[in-house]
Chains A and B, each alone.
Chain A
């Protein structure tokens, strides 16, 4: 079973995405901020991380940079799921190591299609 780590400061968003992904047969862990995510990664060893951009403390782009330093995340895909719409932010995320950008609200079938594309075997 493939594992996905969700990072978002909105509890509602985490619950919603967790329900969608679990129904698709994925194992899901959640984190409310960047620091929590960095602590969860070594224990959970996700196959994919989906993170929000605007979070208190550590933003999504910084989280991606820090996560990519960890050996278990170095070659794992990271998606950005955010309300942000600026091209400059997309470019920044791409440069930091993100493999995809999704704008909220995202439909469940779209999310699952992207997950299947970036995680082989999901």
Chain B
């Protein structure tokens, strides 16, 4: 059976063998001459000299015998050496049994060269597959870290949201209480203002009444003048009566007593009228003194102004409070909206890391493909020893990869690369389907 060179190393050995075969007779002649010369000297100086001393044999015969010996031993030795060399080469798994060695050698040289060049290919494919495995691990680790960080953010946002809700509840209670207080204060202020106004009106009314009383008291004082006048005239009348009584003598003694009594009565009346006048005047003075403080318009106005100023301050505070409450409400509402937006973004980010799983699956299929090709190339390189063996190896089917696809995009790409007219399954299947 003809064997072929399967590597450049074999080709080099084969080349030497071919050179050996082609120049075999030349090699044989060279070896013959060399060994003949060596044998001739050996014969001459060792064997012939020892066993056949010169003086016992004719020189011509001795020389002819020597040449014959040289020839025979040279041929034998040359053949022996040639055979050893040939066997050595043959032991390299080369044996040519007929055939055109030159033609076979060129084909095998090609196969051997290709084999040499592709020997490293399985390793390269395994290297690429291993790199993609590492990519998977790196992206998985990164995706998990992203998820953990997102969960941390989410926890903080949820806590913030809970605090915001609590603040909203507390704020609502405070607002309700504050509003009640503000309403109550405003009502109290209005009541106080009304009361003061009413008090002022009442005080003025009282003042008017008292003024009327004073006027009447003053009028009474005038009556005392009348009493004094009457008392004075009565006294005068009594004096006249006393004079007439004196004129009447004894008959007027009774009348003199009456006139005396009348004179005393008028004196008492005058004194009483004076006392009454003094009393009325004291009463008027006292009323006027007391009323001065009550009907003092300036003091009343000051109190009203102060109360109005106080009411304005309270109203300002109330307005400021409501402003602050409104602002607080807006802040809390805004925070609630922002936290909801963050929450939605967190949800989207959490689901966004699904890309890692999809990438992993696609990389795994690439890894499978690389391993498949690597195994195929390796086994082909191992098995190829002859064109017949090469023919016997099955071709790698690219459509074998198609059966492993899961996604529409993968099948579409396959079709575009291979020129496969078969349309991938339509992309119009819904992403979500409930049976």
Asked whether, in the complex, the Cβ of A84 is within 8 Å of the Cβ of B147, the reply is no
Given contacts A83-B361, A103-B432, contact A20 B350 (CB under 8 A): yes
A104 vs B150: C-alpha distance when bound (angstroms) = 20
Q: Does A70 contact B (CB under 8 A)?
A: no
CB distance from A6 to the nearest CB of B (A): 12
In chain A between 66 and 122, which residues have their CB closer than 8 angstroms to a CB of chain B?
82-87, 90, 94, 98-111, 114, 117-118
The residue from B143, B150, B432 contacting A19, defined by CB atoms under 8 A apart: B150
Given contacts A10-B357, A19-B151, A85-B407, contact A101 B350 (CB under 8 A): no
Asked whether, in the complex, the Cβ of B350 is within 8 Å of the Cβ of A108, the reply is yes
A3 vs B168: C-alpha distance when bound (angstroms) = 32
Q: How many chain-A residues does the 8 Å CB contact rule pick out?
A: 37
Give every chain B residue within 8 A of A118 (Cβ-Cβ): 434
Give every chain A residue within 8 A of B427 (Cβ-Cβ): 85
Give every chain A residue within 8 A of B144 (Cβ-Cβ): 11-12, 15
Asked whether, in the complex, the Cβ of B347 is within 8 Å of the Cβ of A20, the reply is yes
Q: Does A16 contact B (CB under 8 A)?
A: yes
Give every chain A residue within 8 A of B355 (Cβ-Cβ): 105
Report the number of A-B residue pairs with Cβ-Cβ less than 8 Å. Answer: 102
Asked whether, in the complex, the Cβ of A15 is within 8 Å of the Cβ of B147, the reply is yes
Contact with A along B417-429 (1 / 0, CB 8 A): 0000000010101
Give every chain B residue within 8 A of A110 (Cβ-Cβ): 432
A16 vs B427: C-alpha distance when bound (angstroms) = 26
A106 vs B351: C-alpha distance when bound (angstroms) = 7
Whose C-beta in chain B lies nearest to the C-beta of A111? B351
Given contacts A15-B147, A106-B431, contact A54 B406 (CB under 8 A): yes
Q: Does A26 contact B (CB under 8 A)?
A: no
State the majority secondary structure of interface residues on B: helix
A93 vs B432: C-alpha distance when bound (angstroms) = 14
Q: Does B433 contact A (CB under 8 A)?
A: yes
Asked whether, in the complex, the Cβ of B425 is within 8 Å of the Cβ of A83, the reply is no
Q: Does B264 contact A (CB under 8 A)?
A: no
Q: Does A43 contact B (CB under 8 A)?
A: no
Asked whether, in the complex, the Cβ of B143 is within 8 Å of the Cβ of A12, the reply is yes
Q: Does A38 contact B (CB under 8 A)?
A: no
Whose C-beta in chain A lies nearest to the C-beta of B142? A12
A111 vs B151: C-alpha distance when bound (angstroms) = 18
Asked whether, in the complex, the Cβ of A13 is within 8 Å of the Cβ of B147, the reply is no
Asked whether, in the complex, the Cβ of B353 is within 8 Å of the Cβ of A12, the reply is yes
Q: Which residues of B does A touch, CB under 8 Å?
A: 140, 143-144, 147, 150-151, 154, 343, 346-348, 350-358, 360-361, 406-408, 425, 427, 429, 431-435
Q: Which residues of A does B touch, CB under 8 Å?
A: 8, 10-13, 15-17, 19-20, 23, 54, 82-87, 90, 94, 98-111, 114, 117-118
Q: List 8 A-B contacts (CB under 8 A).
A: A12-B354, A16-B353, A17-B351, A54-B361, A103-B431, A104-B357, A106-B431, A110-B432
9 A-B pairs with least C-beta separation? A105-B354, A103-B431, A10-B357, A12-B143, A108-B347, A100-B434, A13-B357, A108-B351, A15-B147
